[in-house]
């Protein structure tokens, strides 16, 4: 008898819980609930019309502006698996080299689809990433549009008569100044925009020293908006030791752009390259 009651009870709960579930889901328009753990991936997802499906992001997801009001899960290297699961996502997007294997395992065991992507920092790499991301969310059509947009935007580049040597400085306060070497997003952006990177011969980033700065002797300094802020404005840049004796320092040639925009290699790549190209041309003209 007791067994029968138990069976009845469980049958009841099952039959009750299933329809309750589905109504809960239908009240929300989008089917998927997405957590995106990379700024560029968030941009791609939003640009292909999935912004309303996104329920949470990491700290680097700063564009579009409207995404900022969603729950922030913190830095990709110190994520809380339970915090992600609490947003009850169906899919989690991230970059292969950023997501820790333990986290991936925990999410998969909670029944969440984890989609990890590799990104190559080039025009083709961006297009491939857009294609791959859009394929996972059945948004191939919007993906194609985004890719054509990049190509169209890139047509806006004008060639430069005098090719400037550009030095990108990654700043996090006056104590931490780094310059971008081979293989970095910024080196790729500089060459895509038709200019030369003022430093080369080393991979990744290197701390900036006054001697190296003089040796590089750049025509133009390129920085992120956040970097300029960390130096408390433009004056902070010109007072970097050694800067005053470089060509850029003497003529105060500076280009400032948003970090995610200019280094994200996402759907705004073509736009960012063209804008950088325009800005470099205009400062180049004033200096010559």
Partner 1 sequence: MRKPTHILLVLAVLLLGSIVASCALGAVKVHPTEFVSILLNKFGWSDYNSFSAQQEAVIWVIRLPRVITSVLSGALLALSGVAIQGLFRNPLADPGIIGISSGAAMVASIAIVISGTFSFLQGTFAGISFLVIAAFAGSLLSAAGVFRIAREKTKTNVSTMLLAGIAINAIAGAVTGILIYISNEQQLRDLTFWTLGSLGGSTWTNAGILLVLLVVTYLVFFRLSKALNAFSLGEQEAQHIGISIESAKNRIIIFSSIAVGATVAFNGIIGFVGLVVPHILRITGSYNHRFLIPAAALGGGLLLSLSDLAARTLVAPAEIPVGIITALAGAPVFLFILLQQKHTFR
Q: In angstroms, give the least distance from the CB of 213 to partner 1.
A: 18
Beta bridge partners of 35: 56, 92
Q: Which is nearer to partner 1, 109 or 151 (CB)?
A: 109
Q: In angstroms, give the least distance from the CB of 248 to partner 1.
A: 24
Residue 209 binds to partner 1 (criterion: CB under 8 A)? no
CA 91/CA 117 separation, integer angstroms: 13
Residue 187 binds to partner 1 (criterion: CB under 8 A)? no
Q: Which is nearer to partner 1, 98 or 219 (CB)?
A: 98
CA 109/CA 84 separation, integer angstroms: 13
Residue 140 binds to partner 1 (criterion: CB under 8 A)? no
Closest listed residue to residue 127, CA positions, set 115, 143, 142? 143
For partner 1, the binding residues in 72-131 under the rule CB under 8 A are 72-75, 77-88, 97-98, 100-103, 106, 109-111
The answer to whether 111 touches 85, Cβ cutoff 8 Å, is no
Closest listed residue to residue 219, CA positions, set 239, 198, 247? 247
The residue range among 4-12, 36-44, 123-131, 268-276 that interacts with partner 1, by the rule CB under 8 A, is: 4-12
Q: Which is nearer to partner 1, 74 or 210 (CB)?
A: 74
Residue 173 binds to partner 1 (criterion: CB under 8 A)? no
Contacts for 44 with CB less than 8 Å, ≥ 6 apart: 129, 130, 133, 134, 146, 266, 267
CA 162/CA 174 separation, integer angstroms: 31
Residue 137 binds to partner 1 (criterion: CB under 8 A)? no
Residue ranges that bind partner 1, judged by CB under 8 A: 6, 9-10, 13, 56, 71-75, 77-88, 97-98, 100-103, 106, 109-111, 204-205, 207
């Amino acid at each position: 008898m007791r067994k029968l009651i138990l069976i009845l009870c469980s049958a009841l709960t099952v039959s009750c819980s299933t329809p309750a579930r589905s109504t809960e889901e239908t009240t929300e328009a989008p089917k998927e609930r997405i957590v995106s753990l990379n700024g560029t991936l968030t941009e791609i997802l939003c640009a292909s019309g999935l912004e309303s499906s996104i329920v949470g992001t990491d700290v680097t997801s700063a564009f579009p502006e409207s995404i900022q009001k969603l729950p922030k899960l913190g830095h990709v290297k110190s994520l809380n698996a339970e915090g992600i699961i609490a947003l009850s996502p169906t899919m989690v997007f991230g970059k292969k080299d950023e997501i820790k294997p333990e986290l991936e395992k925990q999410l998969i065991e909670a029944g969440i689809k984890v989609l990890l992507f590799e990104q190559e920092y080039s025009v083709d790499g961006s297009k491939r990433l857009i294609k791959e991301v859009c394929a996972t969310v059945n948004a191939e059509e919007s993906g194609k549009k985004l890719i054509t947009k990049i190509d169209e935007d890139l047509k806006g580049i004008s060639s430069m008569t005098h090719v400037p040597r550009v030095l990108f400085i990654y700043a996090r306060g006056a104590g931490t100044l780094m310059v971008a070497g081979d293989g970095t997003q910024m080196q790729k952006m500089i060459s895509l925009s038709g200019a030369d990177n003022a430093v080369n011969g080393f991979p990744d980033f290197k701390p900036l020293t006054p001697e190296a700065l003089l040796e590089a002797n750049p025509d133009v300094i390129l920085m992120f908006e956040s970097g300029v802020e960390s130096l408390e404005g433009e004056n902070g840049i010109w007072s970097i030791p050694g800067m005053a004796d470089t060509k850029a320092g003497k003529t105060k040639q500076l280009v400032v752009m948003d970090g995610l925009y200019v280094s994200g290699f996402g759907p705004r790549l073509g736009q960012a390259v063209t804008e950088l190209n325009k800005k470099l041309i205009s400062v180049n003209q004033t200096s010559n």
